Structure 1
């Protein structure tokens, strides 16, 4: 379906177990691609409404967490996903524009507002007051802003977690060791939405009474992990024990599992909703299907990665979202046919075998006209992959936001710097500290020059430039006593992007 001004759609939110509604208020066709502006409506229900049920509905105002009370509007693709149900057309509630871009969601905004309003009003008021305050408080002998949102015990160490209560609007916490009263603090704070824990030394962790939405856990030594009902993303780090027990709401039916490299073998996530895998080098689709057969969403990021049994994706008959990046090893004949993935409403594949890319476009062309969100970019020839296996800037090749030829220059700069570093390490009798500093300066100046011709280095590109340099610096053995932090300081001083 193609969105038109006035159209009203409903979508089912499984976590909420309710339908939510939105209206297309206008269509913006001023850019390269037309965009629909959608406005969330202040309505939810157990069943789909009739059009007359929504005639007097007002727009949804959101003020949860750090939002100031405002309409929830965003620009999205003009093609409506097939999981949205058309209700009818009414005169648009307003004609406002917005500079917020996003995608068709599943009513998460309505659900988040609903959860927010369940928190006692006095606690919400304290949160909002602190967030707007310039007041300072004392924390472990240091003067800190009361409106602190993020805390990390690497930045400011503390012993007793209850001392964090001086920050009423804290929502993200990272701890790199176990702290006194940690669970008492987490269980009593409805605003901690993101929690990261490392080196805890426990065999069992119980988060069932917390309000965490995104949890990152060091799995080393864990036999059992108990999760809270509102959790929507679990990220695993460390060494995962095979058959570690995970206790999650409805066996993970509403949750995203985020992991690196290998498919974790866990007990208790048989109905897992979504699997996101990064740093994939080699992966068998059969292994995923064996552990998580009911996936509705699968996202794979390669390093680059090789996929075995790509055609077995047809086992996921409920699959709605499939995205891949830098994933290879499959042929055109292994591309699943549209009739085998009937519920698919988003298919994004970036950097994939050239022949497979052509086949995907051909097979799913009709479905795109029916509302499938289809994006197939950066088809690669076999020789390209052979040349770019060790190139940290391979994703720049074909990126529409990066000037043509820059990807090649960046790759050359990386390989030249890496090669020079290997030679210096092999002959440590030279003035190693001075020579490595010179290499870092030349590397950084090279990217300064590239960016001066046409600005293209933003947050993502800056991170990739730094990570590539960090990889080079990690080649230096510890016994050579080179201060790598000082070399990173040189990078920070010289960079102009």
Structure 2
């Protein structure tokens, strides 16, 4: 393997390198070739090879080097080729270097290395298996997860990947007890609360951990490399500042050993308290939204919320719907101005602006104890009439 330039991947990589690692779906080792290195974006082009087999000792063991051609579903002969995070996962190692077998750049991007995943899917397709279900993968609603973690619920040792979002609370002790063999864990909340986060250190096989918008963790809950020696991906977004800082200090040096670390939006307790009733809180720290725009957006939403609640709390008459329509129109115009000459309201933000209004109407229905279908329609009609986003 040739030397990389200063500022290259934490685990040295060069164009042409063949890297190999184990794949649980196939029960064999798989291989890929590095086709490019982008130091600006910290990405490498990863071209999956069509080979799998026992642990190879050299590139000769791979036989004829061929890229993986995908024909399953609607791939129609495309190569399994993507730009990944440039941290070579710790389960992979360098096997040797060969001339590039495909030199065209890939226009697909991801963070996670998935070498072997498409090969497993393609082979299942070739066997006539059209319905793909990854063994050991489980995605659960908060209610389903609560039932799975309840007293007396069975241990699910066969589950390797668990995902649950929209959580208001979760006990990591129960997760570890119920799903002891997890290799991937994804937990997302809505300012939800986590207890016993330090128990995740008991998941000794864990490779991927994703936590977002969950709180309650402290620095004492920090995961330890000696306890989680196989961790390859650590992604934390909108978590307690104290926890984020401890995790960053502990894991940032592990990139050289094959752990990709991304920790964003570390939140202090004051932020959590201030944003408990702010449906636009996720805009804070979003890459293309400035701090100034975030503050103005929150102020406008709070103004609109107050106006809606004032109208709905008053005696209802023939003018109510018209007033709500005007409030919706003013809301749209205000965000038209905020979007300005350098627009930032994209599909996700547009949906969040509508969801914020829906939260206000849901709140009012709960307070008044009756449906507000006509009022909701009037508010949204005003928005639609005036919005440019």
Same fold (TM over 0.5): yes
Instruction: Give the counterpart of 2:122 among 109, 113, 132.
Output: 113
Q: Does 1:302 align with 2:184?
A: no
Query: How far apart, in 1, do the equivalents of 2:155 and 2:213 lie?
Result: 30
Instruction: Give the counterpart of 1:22 among 32, 43, 49.
Output: 32
Q: Does 1:258 align with 2:267?
A: no
Specify every segment of 5 or more residues in structure 1 that has no aligned partner in the other structure, as ranges.
Answer: 120-189, 192-210, 214-230, 233-252
Instruction: Give the counterpart of 2:259 among 372, 386, 389.
Output: 372
Instruction: Give the counterpart of 1:269 among 133, 156, 159.
Output: 156
Q: Shift in Å at residue 480 of structure 1?
A: 5.3
Instruction: Give the counterpart of 1:100 among 100, 104, 108.
Output: 108
Instruction: Tell me if the contact between 2:87 and 2:258 (Cα under 8 Å) persists in the aligned partners.
Output: yes
Query: How far apart, in 1, do the equivalents of 2:191 and 2:203 lie?
Result: 23
1:1-38 CA deviation, whole Å, 9 max, x = no partner?
A: 23321111223332232322210012123x3x332111
Structure 1 stretch displaced more, 59-68 or 480-489: 480-489
Instruction: Tell me if the contact between 2:70 and 2:77 (Cα under 8 Å) persists in the aligned partners.
Output: yes
Aligned residue in 1 for 2:269: 382
Secondary structure at the aligned position of 1:339 is classed as coil
Q: Shift in Å at residue 481 of structure 1?
A: 5.6
Aligned residue in 1 for 2:15: 5
Specify every segment of 5 or more residues in structure 2 that has no aligned partner in the other structure, as ranges.
Answer: 1-10
Instruction: Tell me if the contact between 1:476 and 1:482 (Cα under 8 Å) persists in the aligned partners.
Output: no
Query: How far apart, in 2, do the equivalents of 1:322 and 1:112 lie?
Result: 23
Q: Shift in Å at residue 491 of structure 1?
A: 3.1
> Are residues 479 and 8 of structure 1, via their aligned partners in 2, closer, same or farther at CA, if it must alter by over 3 Å?
closer
Instruction: Tell me if the contact between 2:82 and 2:109 (Cα under 8 Å) persists in the aligned partners.
Output: yes
Aligned residue in 1 for 2:247: 360
Query: How far apart, in 2, do the equivalents of 1:396 and 1:305 lie?
Result: 17
How does 1:130-141 map onto structure 2 within 5 Å? none
1:187-215 CA deviation, whole Å, 9 max, x = no partner?
A: xxx65xxxxxxxxxxxxxxxxxxx2x4xx
Secondary structure at the aligned position of 2:324 is classed as helix
Aligned residue in 1 for 2:236: 349
Instruction: Tell me if the contact between 1:39 and 1:72 (Cα under 8 Å) persists in the aligned partners.
Output: yes
Query: How far apart, in 2, do the equivalents of 1:42 and 1:363 lie?
Result: 37
1:156-184 CA deviation, whole Å, 9 max, x = no partner?
A: xxxxxxxxxxxxxxxxxxxxxxxxxxxxx
Query: How far apart, in 1, do the equivalents of 2:381 and 2:139 lie?
Result: 36
Q: Shift in Å at residue 446 of structure 1?
A: 2.1
Aligned residue in 2 for 1:200: none
Q: Does 1:484 align with 2:376?
A: yes
Aligned residue in 2 for 1:416: 303
Secondary structure at the aligned position of 1:376 is classed as strand
Greater RCO, CA 8 A, separation 6+: 2
1:99-133 CA deviation, whole Å, 9 max, x = no partner?
A: 211131141111222222223xxxxxxxxxxxxxx
Query: How far apart, in 1, do the equivalents of 2:310 and 2:52 lie?
Result: 65
Query: How far apart, in 2, do the equivalents of 1:481 and 1:44 lie?
Result: 58
Instruction: Tell me if the contact between 1:378 and 1:398 (Cα under 8 Å) persists in the aligned partners.
Output: yes
Query: How far apart, in 1, do the equivalents of 2:358 and 2:64 lie?
Result: 57
> Are residues 84 and 305 of structure 1, via their aligned partners in 2, closer, same or farther at CA, if it must alter by over 3 Å?
same
Secondary structure at the aligned position of 1:484 is classed as helix
Secondary structure at the aligned position of 1:352 is classed as strand
Query: How far apart, in 2, do the equivalents of 1:459 and 1:94 lie?
Result: 35
Secondary structure at the aligned position of 2:236 is classed as strand
Aligned residue in 1 for 2:386: 494
Aligned residue in 2 for 1:446: 334
Instruction: Tell me if the contact between 1:35 and 1:77 (Cα under 8 Å) persists in the aligned partners.
Output: yes
Instruction: Tell me if the contact between 2:321 and 2:378 (Cα under 8 Å) persists in the aligned partners.
Output: no
How many residues are paired up? 368
TM-score (norm 2): 0.88
Aligned residue in 2 for 1:185: none
Query: How far apart, in 1, do the equivalents of 2:345 and 2:377 lie?
Result: 23
Structure that is richer in helix per residue = 2
Q: Does 1:426 align with 2:309?
A: no
Instruction: Give the counterpart of 2:84 among 62, 76, 79.
Output: 76
TM-score (norm 1): 0.69
1:243-295 CA deviation, whole Å, 9 max, x = no partner?
A: xxxxxxxxxx6213332265332547332112212122222111212211111
Secondary structure at the aligned position of 2:44 is classed as strand
Query: How far apart, in 2, do the equivalents of 1:461 and 1:260 lie?
Result: 24
Instruction: Tell me if the contact between 1:2 and 1:371 (Cα under 8 Å) persists in the aligned partners.
Output: no
Secondary structure at the aligned position of 1:41 is classed as strand
RMSD, matched Cα = 2.2
Structure 1 stretch displaced more, 58-67 or 471-480: 471-480
Instruction: Tell me if the contact between 1:310 and 1:330 (Cα under 8 Å) persists in the aligned partners.
Output: yes
